[in-house]
Amino acid sequence: MLTHEEQLAEFEARIARGEKIEPGDWMPAEYRRQLIRMISQHAHSEVVGMLPEGAWITRAPNLRRKMVLISKVQDEGGHGQYLYHAAESLGISREEMLDALLEGRAKYSSIFNYPTLNWADIGVIGWLVDGAAIKNQTMLAQASYGPYSRAMVRICAEETFHHKQGKEMVIQYAQGTPFQRQMVQDSINRWWWPTLMMFGPHDSDSPNSETLIKWGIKTKTNDELRQEFINEMVADLTAVNLTLPDPDLHFDEASGNWTTGPIDWDEFWRVVKGNGPCNKERLAARQEAHENGRWVREAMAAFAARSPQVIA
C-alpha cells in the first residue's frame, strides 16, 4: 500500500515521462477539481458559443455561406458533447454541470457575451475568436489528462476548418466594396480587445496557471499564448490593409513582439461576473432551450425504463 506522498510522486513521474492520466488512474483531488472546473467551463463555452453565430443562419447572404455556418454551429454543439463526456469521466454528472450553467453559477468564455451586429462578425469570429481558441486548444491537445487531450485533437481539426472559412470571408470583404471594407473593419474594431481577453488574466493575476502547468494540463501561460496570437494576427490583418483599434500598438525590437496598449480588465471581470452586454440574453436562451428539450429527456427516460436492453 503506497502512502499519499508515494502516489503523488508516481503520478508526477508519469506526467514527467509524458504518459497520459486516464479516468481510473490515481490522481490528486486538486488535479481532478481543476480538470472538472476547466473542462466544464470549456464545454459550456462551446454550447453558449452556438448562440451569437446561430443568430445569423437565417440572414446568411447566400446558400454556400448558410451551409458553412449551419455546419459550424452544429460542430460547436458536438464539441460541447465531447467535453461534457470528458468531464463526466472525472465523476461529475451532466446534470450537475448543466444545473450550474443554467443557474448562472458556472463560468463560460467571456467572448460569447458580446453581440454579433453585422454579417462580417461571422467571419471575424472564425478568424480571430476561433484562431484564439485553436491556439489555446492546440496546447491542450498535449494535456496530461487522456480524455481531454483526445477530445482536443478532434476539436482542433474541426476548428481549423472554422478558422479557414472565417479568414476567407474577412479577406474577401477586406478586398471588396467600400461598404464591405467598412463592415469588416467595424467588426475587427469591436472583436479585437474581447478576443485578447479570451486568453484569461495576465499571468500575475491567474491563480490557476501554476497548478495547471505543474501537472501538465496547460503547457503555456495565458500571456505566452496571447502574445503568440497577437504577433500572428497583427501581421495577417495588416497584410490585408485592416487596422487594429489600438493607438499604442508597436513592434518592440528588443523582444521581437508586437506590444499592445493596456487591456481593459475591468471590462473583462464585468463580463465574467455576468454583467457583459449579452450575459442575461445568453443564459435566458440556454434556459429556454433546456426547457424546450424537457419532453425529449422525459421520453428517453421512459423508453429506457421500458426497454433497458435497447438503450444499453
Cα–Cα distance measured from residue 24 to residue 82, given in angstroms and rounded to the nearest whole number:
18
Query: Binder to ligand 3HC among 206, 219, 231, 259 (CB under 6 A)?
Result: 206
Could you tell me if 212 and 34 are in contact, meaning their C-beta atoms sit under 8 angstroms apart?
Answer: yes
Which residues between 149 and 178 bind ligand 3HC (CB under 6 A)? none
Cβ neighbors of 51 (< 8 A, separation 6 or more) are 112, 282, 285, 286
Under the phi-then-psi rule, with left for phi > 0, alpha for psi from -120 to 50, and beta for the rest, what region is 256?
Answer: left
Minimum distance from residue 80 beta carbon to ligand 3HC (Å): 9
Which residues between 28 and 57 bind ligand 3HC (CB under 6 A)? 37-38, 41-42, 45-46, 49
Q: Which of these segments, 87-95, 104-112, 246-254, 258-266, binds ligand 3HC (CB under 6 A)?
A: 104-112
> Is 107 a binder of ligand 3HC (CB under 6 A)?
yes
Minimum distance from residue 4 beta carbon to ligand 3HC (Å): 25
Q: Which three cell numbers stand for residue 267?
A: 471590462
- Closest to ligand 3HC by CB, 96 vs 181, is 96
Q: φ, ψ for residue 169 (rounded to 5)?
A: -65, -50
Identity (one letter) of the amino acid at 272? V
Neighbouring-strand partners of residue 251: 258
Could you tell me if 51 and 112 are in contact, meaning their C-beta atoms sit under 8 angstroms apart?
Answer: yes
Minimum distance from residue 299 beta carbon to ligand 3HC (Å): 30
Query: Binder to ligand 3HC among 147, 166, 200, 216 (CB under 6 A)?
Result: 200
> Is 113 a binder of ligand 3HC (CB under 6 A)?
no
Q: Which three cell numbers stand for residue 17?
A: 515521462
Given the rule CB under 6 A, which residues bind ligand 3HC?
Answer: 37-38, 41-42, 45-46, 49, 76, 79, 107, 109-110, 129-130, 133, 136, 197-201, 206-209, 212, 222, 272
